[in-house]
Amino acid sequence: MKDLKIAIIGCGNLGLSIVNGLLDTTGFKAQSLSVTKRHPESLFHLEPLGVTVTSDNISASKDADLIVLGVKPYNVPHILKEISPVLSPDKQTIISLATGVTLEDMYKHLPAEMAVFRAMPNIAADIQESITCICGKNGDASVEASIKELFNSIGISIVIEEHLMEAATVLGACGIAYVLRFMRAMTQGGIQIGFDAHTANTIVNQTVKGAAELIIKKGIHPEAAIDKVTTPKGCTIVGLNEMEHHGFSAAMVKGVLASYEKIEK
Ligand SMILES: NC(=O)C1=CN([C@@H]2O[C@H](COP(=O)(O)OP(=O)(O)OC[C@H]3O[C@@H](n4cnc5c(N)ncnc54)[C@H](OP(=O)(O)O)[C@@H]3O)[C@@H](O)[C@H]2O)C=CC1
Ligand SMILES: O=C(O)[C@@H]1CCC=N1
């Protein structure tokens, strides 16, 4: 990956998170990265670091080994039509981040032999803590290894079947927003019981981080850890049961399903 040239076409919120994560990766050369936007001013701070910033999708794509599409889903066909005349299908790989745009959709605008992947990271790429789900077609082992290396440098990645990409979008990419909304609500509760917002936030942030790390490092089910907190007749179980009376778990499951149904498949 370190010798590969990468272009991010449409470097907005997600694209910039990926750029930030890559630039913090040991050994990653900023000079190997090109980023595009129609209005690139908001990316000019990357230029002194060595990143090429341009509004020219063609020049960015022409020389790249990995072409990452960071545009909105409805812009993907237009971008593929724009760059396809300069693509070298035997040498280059397309990686789309776009929600709900299938490999089949993309092949309508690309040579059948081209290596094309979908990847679904989240904005924690910014601090190298993304989960990225990947699927693809026509990539040989070395191409797939390069893509995994790219996304492993900004978190962890797993290869999944394409029919699960929308579910991956909801759980991993939308999921970070669900967790953040949970954190906001918990902070609001903390303020109501006496803390100033900053202190409440500090306590909530570390509590959420501790909960996630505990489950990851110990490899246990969340409910097994909950059992260690809920003292019989204690205050935790009373709070949890009150939350469930108000539909906490049901609201989360229904939210996940609503997001999933919103994605056009
Ligand atoms: N945000 C997230 O957390 C996640 C997003 N995704 C997917 O990633 C994609 C990007 O999402 P997000 O980053 O939020 O969206 P943004 O709108 O922030 O980024 C898209 C960028 O594309 C640029 N753009 C639009 N048209 C063109 C063009 N013709 N040429 C070059 N650049 C162009 C826009 O900039 P300008 O107007 O200056 O051109 C914009 O900055 C979407 O497909 C989304 O489904 C997937 C997972 C998570
Ligand atoms: O909300 C969206 O549509 C995009 C896809 C996942 C995260 N953001």
ipTM of the complex: 0.99
- Structural domains of the chain ordered from first start: 6-160 (3.40.50.720), 169-262 (1.10.3730.10)
φ, ψ of residue 134 to 5 degrees: the values are -130, 140
**What CA–CA distance (Å, rounded) separates 114 from 96?**
13
How many angstroms is it from 3 CA to the middle of ligand 2?
31
Residue 54 in contact with residue 36, Cβ under 8 Å? yes
Tell me if the pTM is above 0.90.
yes
Name the amino acid, one letter, at 3: D
Tens digit of pLDDT for each residue in 131-179? 999 999 998 999 999 999 999 999 999 999 999 999 999 999 999 999 9
Chain segment 13-46, per-residue pLDDT in tens: 999 999 999 999 999 999 999 999 999 999 999 9
Mean pLDDT of 209-230: 97
Closest listed ligand to the CA of 35: 1
Q: Model confidence over 77-111: pLDDT tens digits?
A: 999 999 999 999 999 999 999 999 999 999 999 99
Report the alpha-carbon distance of residue 36 to residue 8 in Å, rounded. 6
CA dihedral for 246, 249, 250, 254, sign (positive or negative): positive
Residues 90/118, Cβ–Cβ less than 8 Å: no
Ligand 1 centre distance from Cα of residue 8 (Å): 10
Quote the pLDDT of residue 2. Answer: 67
Q: Residues with beta carbon inside 6 Å of ligand 2?
A: 99, 169, 173-174
Q: How high does pLDDT run on average in the chain?
A: 97
